[in-house]
Structure 1
């Protein structure tokens, strides 16, 4: 009981990126610009899809939900990271606050990964079964797939968070990171974490490998279908609807796999922190840019909205 009380009183601090306040301020400005850019870009996509009836299709429904997930995903990390950059790592977080941040980060990140698999299935149906697309991808199914993505993210996050925060935390309280990431927090536990590391690895492997396998299978059939299209214009149009999704998948799964599937013996806190910057700050900016640059209908909706603003 005494050990639990001690753990409950633990406060964590995040290690600064640099001991130099000027360097910290430069990083703060960079993070702030990236955070605001990701909020603006993803909010723009969500609003455009909502306001344009021509975009009320399953593909854009999933894209809008991905944008909303990205907003909450990065917002679970960025505010506290920015506060710590300003305070040179002196802004504390309680163990309960650290657990809450970890839960929402894993919940939203897991839902994000599953939703990318759902989007691959949507493209598979659209390209391989175009005449049956509206029947196969009904709105009720789209809502169920979106709800399923959130449910799977929740079911992943809750047991992992509970598993890690049942560990005792005694004296070390400086997290070598800018948020409560699982590998970084486990390194502070004053107990044997081999079982916890194995559980994290196994669950991460299942959660990443199953959606990625489904995405890969979908794209095998998609490529076969595209090759069979006779006109070059048709092949180009079909490929353009998939290329954006492929780029986002490579970014998301590549970075996440590096952090959670690397052997613990080769895990580098510094490298882990750098890679985490990519998928918590940079990827949420790139997603709306990639989709808007590679998608003709979305670009048209942006131009239409800008023309309306100019007229007003």
Structure 2
């Protein structure tokens, strides 16, 4: 669409353009979005209001819910607007920059927070007598603050580098949001070095939080297996089952999407995984943390 130009002032999101089932998709995504908003807002409210939930685990959970609301709000309203309008959806260059930055920054913050929550569960299960001393309110505030600051500062250069490229092949993004992989594909520059650096940074973010998670759960499982009674094992595992389930869903859907060296390939697969990351995972997390948690559900 954009031919013989050195740069693009706006892009067009292909999204679900041309789909005969667009109205069904619109209804489904709108439903998922509403449930995601309500579910995570309920968690935030009860964590703030319920005195039984004034603990580090639920403090982290409240911030995780805020991140889930943000990641869906960054993507889904634009997607819904594109479904309501015929054809491809235009998006300005500045809006594309903001959307991509916020999406990556919030995602990075979420991974950092998931890693911190894994360490929190390790201390709770493996060193319960010192838990309140090690994981105190001051420590929790610092961990959350560092997670947010790191997430937003870490993504400044990747987004800057992405939009310093020259876009002369087309300005049609084969996704429902400003996907970095598709933007790299539209560039007429040699992006091999940029892609390699972005790949290393994605590896650092994912495995920087995944490694402490794996180490923490290795010690947690080892400790649980040493508990003599089955009821004691179940009680110990219940304290980290929700977080573990969230970690499995979150990392399994993001590993290929974010760590694939050649980001400009497999556009259709990226499209599907992006939908899972921005819609499915935030939708499931409130159910994971409430249905498996007696304190959140309340007394029976």
Interval containing the TM-score (normalised by the shorter chain): over 0.9
Separation (CA, whole Å) in 2 of partners of 1:253 and 1:155: 22
Query: Alignment partner for residue 247 of structure 2, among 240, 246, 249?
Result: 249
**How many Å separate the matches in 2 of 1:255 and 1:72?**
18
Question: Is residue 8 of structure 2 the alignment partner of residue 12 of structure 1?
Answer: no
**Aligned pairs for 1:23-34 within 5 A:** 23-34=21-32
Instruction: Give the Å deviation of 1:63.
Output: 0.5
Q: Where do 5+ consecutive residues of structure 2 fail to align?
A: none
Q: Is the 8 A contact 2:18 2:87 kept in 1?
A: no
- In structure 2, the CA distance between the partners of 1:270 and 1:203, relative to structure 1 (3 Å rule), is same
CA deviation after TM superposition for structure 1 residue 18, in Å: 4.6
Size of the alignment, in residue pairs? 296
1:42-87 CA-partner distances (Å, limit 9, x unpaired):
0010001011011000000000110011101111111111111111
Unaligned 5+ segments in structure 1 are: 304-312
Higher helix share: 1
Deviations 1:187-227 (Å, cap 9, x if unpaired)? Answer: 11121111111111110011101110000000111111111
Residue 6 (structure 1) shift: 5.5
1:156, distance to aligned residue in structure 2 (A): 1.9
Measured in 1, the distance between the counterparts of 2:116 and 2:263 equals: 34
Give the whole-Å Cα distance in 1 for the aligned partners of 2:238 and 2:266: 37
Distance in 2 (alpha carbons) for counterparts of 1:119 and 1:68: 15
Residue 91 of structure 1 deviates from its aligned partner by 2.8
Whole-Å Cα distance in 1 between the matches of residues 88 and 16 of structure 2? Answer: 12
Q: What does residue 138 of structure 1 align with?
A: 136
Provide the rounded CA distance (Å) in 2 between the counterparts of 1:193 and 1:174: 18
Report how far residue 235 of structure 1 moved.
0.9
Secondary structure of the corresponding residue to residue 92 of structure 1 = strand
- Give the alignment's TM-score, normalised by structure 1: 0.91
> Who is 1:309 aligned against?
none
Does the Cα contact within 8 Å between 2:109 and 2:151 map onto a contact in 1? yes
Partner of 2:164: 166
2:76 to 75, 78, 83: 78
Q: Aligned ranges for residues 168-247 of structure 1 at < 5 Å? A: 168-247=166-245
Deviation at 1:293, TM superposition (A): 1.0
For 1:242 and 1:16, the matched residues in 2 are separated by 37
**For 2:9 and 2:226, how far apart are their aligned partners in 1?**
61
Extract structure 1 runs of 4+ deviating beyond 4 A: none
Counterpart of 1:298? 296
Q: Which residue of 2 aligns with 1:98?
A: 96
